[in-house]
A = this chain, B = another copy of it.
Amino acid sequence: MHKSVTQIILLGDGMGGRPVPSLGGQTCLEAGNYPALDEVARGGECGYTDPIGPGQAVGSDTGHMAILGYDPVRYYTGRGPFEAKGVGIDVQPGDIAFRCNFSTVENGIIKDRRAGRITEGTDQLAAAVNEAFRDGIDGVEVIFKESVAHRAALVLRGEGLDPRITDVDPHKTGVEVPQCQPAAEAADDPAAQKTAAIINKFVEGVQEVFADHEINRQRRAAGLPPANIVLPRGAGTAPHLMPFSEQYHLSGAMIVEVDLVRGLGLYLNMDVINVPEATGGMDTDEMAMARAVVEAAASHDFVLCNIKSPDVGGHDGNAEQKMEAIAKVDRAAGHLLDALDWDSTVLMVSADHCTPVTVMDHTGDAIPVAFYGHGVRPDGVQSFGERPFAAGSVHRIHSLDIMNIMGNYAGTLPKFGA
């Protein structure tokens, strides 16, 4: 259809939360001063959304899938394929992909799952891995690539593989490095057995490669934990997702900070726009991201932007930091309010999930959502937050309905019936 109204989704990653005792029982969204978010609430339709169903916590991958209308229950194949695609590996049908951490192990015990949050030299470590496994393992091709900080991705390519295997990353420290095994439901499956065996050889081989690597000699000399192991997890095959432009007949752009979500955008064949100043941390330049959104909106029907830092503050249990991060989302929203023509733009502001500082992890709490701009019926809600949105007119929607709601405001969704 002819483009007339631009659709924009602005997400503060993990922005929703729960009451924080040190904030007098308010949430980080409720306690902070966010004038642009409040303006969106005052001029918008407010409520809650659930990505899968009430109570069900999601990841950033499954949360974004739901918001974009791709049912995660049906299409999600694991974290690995998203990370691997996001870091730039051309994941192909049949490949088994993994999310990995550079980690620190000592006498077989995991000491640091993020190797002191290593930021430099992972490219050299990755190059050494690829060199070591240049001939593959048991006839299977090995593709390894570093991502931001301690993150990396691994792809196995070959015949007779199966993603139904256990994680090597135990998600805690002070324990032995687990052996990769077929998952319970695939215990007797030769492909899963073969894949697990290859992963164990990979993890063992990486340790040999990394033990005396120059980067680790430097790290030990500097008193930093060495990156002397790689812990794969989240095995999965490439998901089958209809390209965004075919699904919605809209041109779509994505401006995000994490490879996991970038991978989704790449699978959907959206224009994944790189903003060099977007770091994913507290030092990110949210205004550069907001300017990129405005620029993308001039040439696309649809733009999704995710600012990562509120989720980091949530995971760290740091309310002050989370509120500073939400202020970044607020400033980005303010730039959108200033720069765009609201007679021909519709905006949704929300989050992919809640990450309460009191939980320090994702929760399945209802996620605040506000629709603003062309066509909406402002509902009288006066401020952006979990409790104020209880009075909103959106009430509680499934996230899979969001794209239809946006399409309704934009006038791009065909009528069903006569």
Q: A residues touching B (Cβ–Cβ < 8 Å)? A: 18-19, 25, 27, 47-48, 52-63, 65, 72-73, 76, 78-79, 82, 99, 234, 260, 356, 358-359, 361-366, 375-380, 386-387, 389-397, 401, 403-408, 411, 413-418
Which residue of chain B lies nearest to A17 when distances are taken between CB atoms in the complex? B377
Task: For A377, give its contact among B18, B362, B405, B413 (CB under 8 Å).
Answer: B18
Q: Are B393 and A48 in contact (CB under 8 A)?
A: yes
A117 vs chain B, min Cβ distance (A): 19
5 new A-B pairs (CB below 8 Å) besides A55-B408, A58-B415, A390-B391? A18-B376, A234-B418, A363-B408, A364-B404, A391-B391
Chain B residue with the shortest CB-CB distance to A387? B379
Q: Report yes or no: A416 in contact with B363, Cβ–Cβ below 8 A.
A: no
Is the Cβ of A417 less than 8 Å from the Cβ of B377? Answer: no
- Closest-CB distance, A350 to chain B (whole angstroms): 14
Residues in B neighbouring A415, C-beta threshold 8 A: 57-59, 361-362
Q: What residues of chain B lie closer than 8 Å to A379, measured between beta carbons?
A: 387, 390
* A418 shortest CB reach to chain B, Å: 4
Copy total for this chain:
2
The residue in chain B whose Cβ has the minimal distance to the Cβ of A58 is B417
Given the known inter-chain contacts A61-B418, A72-B416, A76-B417, please indicate yes or no for A27 contacting B377, CB distance below 8 A. yes
Whether A418 contacts B60 by the Cβ 8 Å rule is: yes
Asked if A57 contacts B366 (CB within 8 A), the reply is no
User: Contacts A390-B393, A401-B54 given: A61-B417 contact, CB under 8 Å?
Assistant: yes
A392 to B392, Cβ gap below 8 A?
Answer: no
Select one of B390, B408, B418 contacting A364, CB under 8 A: B408
CB distance from A39 to the nearest CB of B (A): 16
Q: Which residues of B contact A234 (CB under 8 A)?
A: 418
Specify which chain B residues have a CB less than 8 angstroms from the CB of A366 in the assembled complex: 393
| CB atoms of A53 and B401 under 8 A apart | yes
Q: Is the CB of B408 within 8 A of A377?
A: no
Q: Which residues of B contact A364 (CB under 8 A)?
A: 404-405, 407-408, 413
